[in-house]
Amino acid sequence: MKIAIGSDHGGFEARKYIVGNLHKSGYDVIDVGCVEPATCDYVDYAVKVCELLQNGDADFGILICGTGIGMSIVANKFCGIRAALCVSTDFAKLARNHNDANVLCTSGRFVSKETALEIVDVFLSESFDGDRADGIRHKKRVDKIALIDERERKCRTV
Ligand code: RB5
């Protein structure tokens, strides 16, 4: 599984910690930066990660900024991206189970790096309930989101 990850300065430490642990767990990780903890714009890293997903170069994205809010706003502008801001493992589980989220956004300032890693682990290990017979309602809802993508700007499927 290929994971693209990016952060601004607000998520720098958490990103480094998560990248190290993802490597240890055997994930194929594309780390798009930022390269140093100096102030920078979260927008640029959200764009890089979402483009990797849109181009089929990554299966899931992880974005971390101070709150996770800026990252999630940017990521959800991209067709085919379903970005979920998660500050607990319960959110991460439901983001995959119900929303088929493909980008996890979290906070480098309001969540400890250890909790952020737990959130990532849950997000990457859970699956979409809409692929199961008893979860058709979730598929129907996510399909409606895709229709909005189509209506707004014809998109590449991710
Ligand atoms: C940077 O100070 C901060 O605004 C950013 O990391 C993020 O929280 C934005 O949503």
Q: Is 45 in the pocket of ligand 1 (CB under 6 A)?
A: no
Residue identified by tokens 């101070």 is 66
Closest alpha carbon to 39 in 62, 71, 11, 63? 11
Q: Is 70 in the pocket of ligand 1 (CB under 6 A)?
A: yes
* Probe residue for ligand 1, chosen from 64, 65, 74 as the CB with the greatest number of ligand atoms within 8 Å: 65
Catalytic machinery residues: 65, 98
| CA 122-29-12 angle, 5° bins | 80
- Say how many Å lie between the CA of residue 132 and the centre of ligand 1: 37
The answer on pLDDT for 155 being more than 70 is no
- Say how many Å lie between the CA of residue 44 and the centre of ligand 1: 12
CA distance 43 to 24: 28
3-state secondary structure of 126: coil
Averaged pLDDT for residues 54-63: 98
As a whole number, the mean pLDDT across the chain is 96
Residue identified by tokens 């979290």 is 106
* Token pair in block for residue 116: 């952020």
- Say how many Å lie between the CA of residue 105 and the centre of ligand 1: 12
CA distance 95 to 129: 10
Which tens digits make up the pLDDT trace of 81-115?
A: 999 999 999 999 999 999 999 999 999 999 999 99
Note the pTM of the prediction, 2 decimals.
0.96
